[in-house]
Every structure is written in C-alpha cells, then in structure tokens.
Amino acid sequence: MKQLRLWPQSLVGQIIILVAIALFVAQAINFGLLLRERNRVELTSQTAPVVYRVINALDIRPDRRPRRGDHEQEEERDRRNVEFSTTRPVLAGKPRPDVETRAVAMFEDIGLTVHSVVATEDSRIMPQRRWEQIRRRATGEQPGDRRLGRLSLAVEYEPGKWVTAMARIGSRPPRFGGWLVAQTLILYVIVLIPLLWMGRRFARPLKQLTGSARQFAKTGAADPVEESGPGDVRQLTTAFNAMRARIIAMLDEKDRMLGAIGHDLRTPLASLRVRTESVEDEGERARMSETIEEMNRMLDDILSLARAGRSSEMAQKVDLTSLADAVVEDFIELGSPVDMIDSDRAVAFVRAQQIRRALRNLIENAIVYGDRAHVSVQHQDGMIRIIVADEGPGIAEDKMGEMMEPFTRLEGSRNRETGGAGLGLALVRAIMAEHGGALQLANRPGGGLEASLVLPA
C-alpha cells in the first residue's frame, strides 16, 4: 500500500501550501491581537460605569456640601447605586480581579489614590430597563443575545472608609469571530487565486521541459520546447533547446561515423573470407573462417551497443510468450539444449527485434556457461519477466554488477572458446533501458543463474 502523501510534490502546490500556511499564521496572530484588544475594550466598558459612579460619589459624598445645578437629578440617581461604609463590604458574586486591576489603572489616570479595590460580578439574569429594550429593538438583537448581570466595586478611598458602587453589565457573543473567518476567506481568494494562475503559468513550460527531457532520455530524440512563461523560464527553455540540438547533432555524427567504421571494417573482412577459400588445409581454413565470423559478430555487438537508445525500429504490441517460444525453437533446430516452460500469454509494447536479440544473448550465455537454458515468461508485480535459467555455477554476488559492464567476462582468460568479447550482457542492459525495463541477475537456490528481462506490462 502506498503511503499517503499530504505534502504536494509539485512546485506550484508547495508554493500555494506555504503561502496558505503563512496567511493562516498571520490571521491567527491577527485574531489573537483583535481578541486581546476586544477583551480590553470590553473590560474598560464594564469597568468605566462603576468607576465613574465611585468618582462621582466621592465628589458629592455626604461629608461634603451637595452641589446644585443642572445635573442634580443625575447625581441623585447615581447616589441610589452607591453606598458608604466604615467597614470592608461583603460583595456577592464571583471575584473579578481583571476589573480590579483596570479600575486601579483608571483611578491612577485621573490622579485619585485608593488604598484597596474589590470587584465582584453577580451573573444572574436581571430584567432589562426600558432604554435597553428600545436599544435591542433598534439594533436587532435577539432576547437571548445579551445576558445582563451586576458588577459591584468597593473602593477604600481613605483608611477605614469604603464606597461601594454597582452597575449593570452585559455580555455579547463574539460576533467578530465570523467576520474574521470571512475576512480570512476573502484574503485567501485575493492572494491564492492570482498565485495559482501565476504558478500554473510558471509550471506549464517546466512541465513541457520535463516531458521533453524524459522523451530525449528514453528515445534519443525530442521535439523542441516552446519558449514561454517568465523570463527566467524562457532562458532555461532556450538553453535546453540549444543543448538538445547540439546533442542530437553529435549523436547523428556518431551514427554516421559508426556506419562508416562498420563499412570499412566489413570490406577487409569480406576480402579475408574470400582468401580463406584458397587455403588448402581444411582445418586451418575452418579456423580462419571461424575467426572472421567471430570478428563480424563482435563488430555487430559493438555497433549495436554504440547505437543503443537510437533504434530506428518502431515499437508495437508483441506477445512476448510467442516471441520467446520462436527464439527457443530456433535454438532447438540447431541442436542446442534449450527448453520452453509453458507460460501464459503476455503482451507488451516493445521493439520485437531488440527483445529477440536480448533474449538470444541470454540463451547463448546460459548454454556456454550453464550447460542448458530453461526459458519462461511470468507476470509479477505489474511487470513481465522473461526468465532464462541455467544449470551452471552461477555468479558471485559481488560480481553481478561488474558482469553488465562492456568487455567484462566471467571467465578471466582471453580464450575465445570459453565465451565472446563480454558485450552480451552490456547490450542486453542497454536494450532494457531503452524499453524502460531492467536486466536482473540472481543465483538460483538449487544452483545455476537466473537472468530476467523485466519489462513494463
């Protein structure tokens, strides 16, 4: 089971996720600051009325001469919510240390020194006054939107002298929370949509560039990439197209050179083959002909390996089981010890001649080094495996990687009777790489080597 990847792999996705996270963190900080400021404003709005009444009561307390003037009725109304005492009052409700701290700060702001402050809140529901009902209707508040309570504040303004003031307070639900969520969504739309558009404009030419590079690596040829997108991307695309053109020109020159070399070498080999016919000794003539044929095979392998990845053969759907059976029949007709194990039909999109050549190389190696070849075709993990097993001594584990390198032989001597030039497995590996597959070598538990051509199904 594949592990779920929450983190996007594309450049655009990573940029958008990072910006989204940054916006979320910024909005979270903004929310914290707004909540802190809202709590401070609400605390001030709750504390200010009782502080005002305390200050007003101290200004018109009984031991002073009452004021007369336009505010006489208001002062009389404030005195109904104020009590003076010479003992510390006992206040009902839960303590409000935040109100006490805020009240002390407000007293200090106006230059009034107090000795002690006690605040409590009685959270029981109190009937609304007429002006509160009018305001509720005007603002559209629902009856349950506002919970009224009573805030009591006792202040020791002189040693042993206390004044207690009371005021109604209300608590409203934090309506700004929904507004902040809406603001965040709007910010996401404003920022992320242009960023997504810009990212797609930036990523489209990169995607085309990646596809062209993969095509070039797989086939040795690719169409030039359209130069579009931001300036940096256009410069990258221009450089890639220039590199592509130069590499294709070098590969074409290499192919022409190899073709010329092959032609020039086959001409003297053909001349040598004609001259061998004039040799009277049949044994010597046979050895010379065998040497010439071996040189021809080596030349073919070298040219094929050098041209790997630039085959002119078109890929097509092929039944690999039938192809393997046909190759095995060719070896059986020559009297080689090869057998085909019954296998299910396996169809893949391949270049048939190249797969045929790769399979022939593996069977020849199995016959030379393992006495006998057993060929089978299997489906495994979404791949098709053409397996050639032998009955030889196998290969040491630390030598398997080295055996796929050009001009490397299992037998250390240079005796041609014990093998070829060491190009067979290297050529097979190059053919598999061109098909997006692999050559795998493994020792069999019962002895012998198992060489597999692994191809995508």
Sketch out the chain's domains with CATH numbers. 11-174 (no CATH), 312-456 (3.30.565.10)
Regarding beta strands 161-171 and 449-456, do their DSSP bridges make them parallel or antiparallel, or are they unpaired?
unpaired
Quote the percentage of the chain above a pLDDT of 70. 77
Position 416 confidence tier, pLDDT thresholds 50, 70, 90: very low
Distances (CA, A) of 303 to 45, 152, 183: 92, 101, 68
**What's the mean per-residue pLDDT of the chain?**
78
Residues whose CB is less than 8 angstroms from the CB of residue 211 and which lie 6 or more positions away in sequence, other chains included: none
pLDDT over 60 at 239, yes or no: yes
Q: Where is pLDDT greater, at 420 or 242?
A: 242
Q: For the residues 150-170, what does the mean pLDDT come to?
A: 86
Regarding beta strands 338-340 and 373-380, do their DSSP bridges make them parallel or antiparallel, or are they unpaired?
parallel
Position 79 confidence tier, pLDDT thresholds 50, 70, 90: low
What is the model's pTM?
0.49
Distances (CA, A) of 392 to 3, 40, 357, 368, 373: 41, 88, 22, 9, 10
Q: For the residues 365-382, what does the mean pLDDT come to?
A: 88
pLDDT over 60 at 241, yes or no: yes
How high is the pLDDT of residue 30? 83
pLDDT tens per residue across span 426-436: 888 888 888 88
SS3 (DSSP) at 104: helix
Residues whose CB is less than 8 angstroms from the CB of residue 165 and which lie 6 or more positions away in sequence, other chains included: 50, 51, 53, 54, 57, 81, 82, 152, 153, 155
Q: For the residues 32-55, what does the mean pLDDT come to?
A: 85
Q: For the residues 124-133, what does the mean pLDDT come to?
A: 53
The lowest-confidence range among 146-150, 248-252, 387-391 is 146-150
Q: Which two tokens stand for residue 142?
A: 């629902």
Helix (H) or strand (E) holding 302, with range, is: helix 282-306
Q: Which of 240, 217, 218 is nearest to 229 (CA)?
A: 240
How high is the pLDDT of residue 3? 45
Strand ranges for 314-448 from DSSP E:
316-319, 338-340, 347-350, 373-380, 383-390, 438-443
End-to-end CA distance of the chain: 20
pLDDT over 70 at 414, yes or no: no
